[in-house]
Amino acid sequence: MSITKESELVGMRKASEAVALTLKEMRNFARPGMTTRELDNYGGQILNDLGAKSAPYMTYGFPGWTCISVNNEFCHGIPSDKRILNEGDLINIDVSAELDGFWSDNGGSFVLGTDVHQHQKLIDASKQILHRAIHAIKGGVRIADVGSLIETEAKKRGYRVIKNLTGHGIGRSLHEEPSEIANFRDRFNLARFKKNSVVAIETFISTTSTYAETTRDGWTMVGDKGGFMAQHEHTIVVTDGKPIILTEMNDIWN
pLDDT digits (tens, 9 = 90+) for 207-252: 999 999 999 999 999 999 999 999 999 999 999 999 999 999 999 9
Region 141-155: what's the mean pLDDT? Answer: 98
Q: Is 76 annotated as a binding residue?
A: yes
CA dihedral 63, 64, 65, 68 (to 10 degrees): -130
Q: Cβ(130)–Cβ(243) under 8 Å?
A: no
Rounded Cα distance between 30 and 146, Å, is 33
218-232: b (≥16 Cβ within 10 Å) or e: ebbbbbbeebbbbbb
pLDDT digits (tens, 9 = 90+) for 46-96: 999 999 999 999 999 999 999 999 999 999 999 999 999 999 999 999 999
Q: Is 168 annotated as a binding residue?
A: yes
Which pLDDT band holds residue 34 (cuts at 50, 70, 90)? very high
Q: Is 119 annotated as a binding residue?
A: no
> For position 224, what pLDDT does the model report?
97
Mean pLDDT score across all residues of the chain: 98
Q: Is 175 annotated as a binding residue?
A: yes
What predicted TM-score, i.e. pTM, was given to this entire model?
0.97
Q: Is 87 annotated as a binding residue?
A: no
> For position 219, what pLDDT does the model report?
98
Q: Is 186 annotated as a binding residue?
A: no
Q: Is 232 annotated as a binding residue?
A: no
Which pLDDT band holds residue 188 (cuts at 50, 70, 90)? very high
Region 5-16: what's the mean pLDDT? Answer: 98
Rounded Cα distance between 145 and 29, Å, is 37
Which of 168, 252, 244, 251 has its CA nearest to residue 8? 244
User: Domains, the chain, ranges and CATH?
Assistant: 6-250 (3.90.230.10)
In degrees, rounded to 5, the angle at the alpha carbon of residue 132 between the alpha carbons of residues 234 and 192 is 75
Which of 202, 24, 205, 201 has its CA nearest to residue 125? 205
> For position 196, what pLDDT does the model report?
98
Which pLDDT band holds residue 156 (cuts at 50, 70, 90)? very high
Count of CA atoms in the C-beta half-sphere (13 A) of 164? 12
